[in-house]
């Protein structure tokens, strides 16, 4: 942009040595510094990643990312959890901002929250939940002498698993029996 380190430091209200440390990655700038730098017309995405994403390409990149998140949410049947995902995005932003303030990522809370959200999808199979459900289904089938074809048994398992995941708790035997009888 044609600024010397001294010029930029003066515009930013910092010492030239601080500016030099930022440029050599000896110290991480604060989010406030980066925001002020952006107000001077500096492409912050390029400063942070080495990839130019300002202007129209930034808008296209953002639209592409939003589109991909929408596709993933639809594919995993997670649309009821959009507000929760919005909160996770704020957590991720705060964590990344902390990297620039403190120089290291501390909690990785957003990563754990994202993994927990994905596990809420009725299409993501959790082994313990799945095994417990099959045991309960087998109990109902044996105790009621209901006989299902392998095809119908598979469909019943999938429907009950999806129901258990959306309710977030194990299904009672009455619910299991009701669904199984629907496949007779």
The CA-based diameter of the chain, rounded to the nearest angstrom, is: 85
Mean pLDDT in consecutive groups of 10 residues from the start of the chain, 184 residues: 83 87 79 77 74 64 80 88 84 69 62 88 85 92 92 92 84 92 89
**Matching residue, tokens 């095809």:** 151
Amino acid 143: pLDDT: 93
Amino acid 126: pLDDT: 85
Under a CB-based contact definition with an 8 Å cutoff, are residues 121 and 78 in contact?
Answer: yes
Amino acid 62: pLDDT: 67
Helix 82-102 / helix 56-75 crossing angle, nearest 10 deg? 130
Amino acid 178: pLDDT: 93
Rounded to two decimals, the pTM is 0.52
């Amino acid at each position: 942009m044609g600024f010397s380190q001294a010029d930029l430091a003066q515009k930013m209200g910092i010492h030239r040595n601080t500016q030099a440390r930022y440029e050599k990655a000896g110290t991480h700038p604060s989010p406030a510094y980066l925001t002020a730098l952006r107000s001077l017309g500096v492409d912050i995405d390029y400063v942070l990643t080495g990839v130019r994403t300002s202007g129209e390409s930034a808008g296209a990149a953002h639209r592409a990312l939003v589109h991909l998140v929408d596709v993933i949410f639809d594919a995993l049947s997670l649309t009821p959890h959009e507000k929760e995902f919005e909160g996770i995005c704020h957590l991720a932003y705060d964590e990344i901002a902390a990297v620039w303030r403190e120089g290291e990522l501390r909690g990785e809370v957003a990563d754990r929250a994202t993994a927990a959200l994905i596990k809420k999808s009725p299409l993501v199979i959790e082994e313990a939940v799945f095994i417990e459900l099959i045991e309960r289904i087998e109990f109902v089938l044996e105790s009621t002498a209901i006989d299902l074809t392998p095809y119908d048994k598979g469909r019943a398992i999938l429907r009950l698993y999806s129901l258990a995941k959306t309710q977030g708790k194990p299904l009672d035997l009455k619910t299991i029996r009701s669904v199984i009888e629907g496949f007779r």
